[in-house]
Amino acid sequence: MTETALTQVKQRFGIIGNSPLINREIEKAFLIAPVDLTVLITGESGVGKEVFPQIIHQNSLRKHGSFIAVNCGAIPEGTIDSELFGHEKGSFTGAVNDRKGYFEVADKGTIFLDEVGELPLSTQARLLRVLEYHEFIRVGSSKVQKTDVRIVAATNVDLLKAIRLGKFREDLYYRLNTVPINLPPLRDRKEDIYLLFRKFAGDFAEKYRMPAIHLTEDAKAILVKYRWPGNIRELKNITERMSIFEQEREISANALKSYLTNPDLDQLPALIQSEYDPQTFNSEREILYKILFDLKRDVNELKKLVPGLINNPPAGATESHPVTIRPVRANFPPEEEKEEPLSYDEEPVQYADEVSEEKEPETLSLEEVEKEMIIKALNRHNGKRRNAALDLKISERTLYRKIKEYGLE
């Protein structure tokens, strides 16, 4: 696309700016306009997504056909199918006559679905049929009708995230996203911010028949550094308010700040609140419960196993070559910080496969077993605490604490 053609497109559709980011998307829209492909326009709210469907339609072979823009987020869920696909008389309460839907009216033309991410799932299924087979059925009818429309969709919603949350159909996303156009936010087009301000200031000066406002150098710097969360729409609204309320036509930095939301947070990263997913939470909670129950079962089995090993050591175990017993289910790392011992005073859980087993009486408490094991380890290594700690699979700090706790010093 030549520089002259690019300039002509901007002038025709009122696009202000020379940022390479916006120029690239304009060229993409101009190039794919003659090719009858579905287009998905993404970008934050207020970046000017509504202009690009016009560029595509006016430069396509359908420019003499109808162009219908539909705000999907503004139509109630109960009537959106009727609005898009039409309905038959008597199909629901209030349907006193047959009605054509937008896909029937826009035949041979272009339909722009703004905020397509707000469509209910049932309507998404109907839209997918239009994209795949170029046909639809009116509400309350069984007759299949053909339509020849080009669909251009736009959204400020992260559709991939909506797919993960089950709010948007994955197959519909890939049908819509044949040609993606991603419009940059205003904060990424810093060279265009002041140009847009001047354009809006001139428009409002003409509209309200007053001199145009202009900024001091300090105010210009603040204007460019500000994050503009509302993008072009926010800049336009602020320019209009200043044009009306400010008596002085030269806007100072302090005056500009009074119109900005959090002007000192210009370059701070945005905080994004994570979405709560009940299904994920419940799944993770069930896994945690299972781990805790398995851990408790292992502890109860260990309580029954340790006294027997002390009274009847495994075959091959001697004072010089002891047999080390390692945990079966997990290898826990040595303790690094001071930890309180777990309480095992409660009764062990009895499982179904243990009901018929006879419960053996416990002869020692866990504290006595622990004390006896420490004494044996110290005697085995002639009082060398480091070696005893390695033998017991605990940290040396924990061994010192246990020795002091049991009075073995």
Cβ atoms of 103 and 84 within 8 Å: the answer is yes
Beta strands (DSSP E) in 90-158 are: 110-114, 135-137, 144-146, 150-155
Q: Give the pLDDT of residue 262.
A: 76
Higher pLDDT, 41 or 346: 41
Residue 374 lies in a domain: yes
- Tell me: do 87 and 224 sit in the same domain: no
pLDDT one-digit tens code per residue, 179-202: 999 999 999 999 999 999 999 999
Pseudo-torsion of CA 252, 257, 259, 264, nearest 10°?
A: 160
**What distance in Å separates the CA atoms of residue 138 and residue 125, rounded to the nearest whole number?**
14
Residue 251 corresponds to which amino acid? I
Cβ atoms of 36 and 150 within 8 Å: the answer is yes
C-beta neighbour count of 378 within 10 angstroms: 20
Could you give the C-alpha distances from 367 to 221, 309, 402, in angstroms and in order? 71, 16, 10
Tell me the CA end-to-end span of the chain in Å, nearest whole number: 88
Run of H or E residues at 283: helix 278-311
Residue 282 lies in a domain: yes
Q: Give the pLDDT of residue 344.
A: 42
pLDDT band at 338 (very low <50, low <70, confident <90, very high): very low
Boundary (domain end) residue, out of 184, 205, 228: 184
Beta strands (DSSP E) in 168-317 are: 179-182, 214-215, 250-251
What's the chain's average pLDDT? Answer: 83
**What distance in Å separates the CA atoms of residue 253 and residue 131, rounded to the nearest whole number?**
51
Q: Give the pLDDT of residue 291.
A: 76
pLDDT one-digit tens code per residue, 187-242: 999 999 999 999 999 999 999 999 999 999 999 999 999 999 999 999 999 999 99
DSSP collapsed to 3 states, 336-378: CCCCCCCCCCCCCCCCHHHCCCCCCCCCCCHHHHHHHHHHHHH
Model confidence at 351: pLDDT above 90: no
Share of the chain above pLDDT 70, in %: 79
Model confidence at 176: pLDDT above 50: yes
Tokens of 230: 């509302």
Which residue is associated with the tokens 């998404």?
124
Tokens of 328: 């079966």
Of 76, 68, 56, 63, which is closest to residue 100 (Cα–Cα)? 68
Report the b/e string of 48-75 with b at 16+ CB within 10 A: bbeebbbbbbebbebeebebebbebeeb
Instruction: Point out the least confidently predicted range of 135-149, 331-345, 372-386.
Output: 331-345
Q: Give the pLDDT of residue 156.
A: 95
Boundary (domain end) residue, out of 154, 184, 214: 184
- Tell me: do 325 and 239 sit in the same domain: no
Q: Say which DSSP state 169 is in.
A: -
Total structural domains within the chain:
3
- Tell me: do 286 and 400 sit in the same domain: yes
- Tell me: do 31 and 97 sit in the same domain: yes
Residue 218, SS3?
helix
pLDDT one-digit tens code per residue, 146-155: 999 999 999 9
- Tell me: do 176 and 199 sit in the same domain: no
Give me the domain span that covers residue 302: 278-405
Residue 367 lies in a domain: yes
Q: Is the pTM of this model over 0.85?
A: no
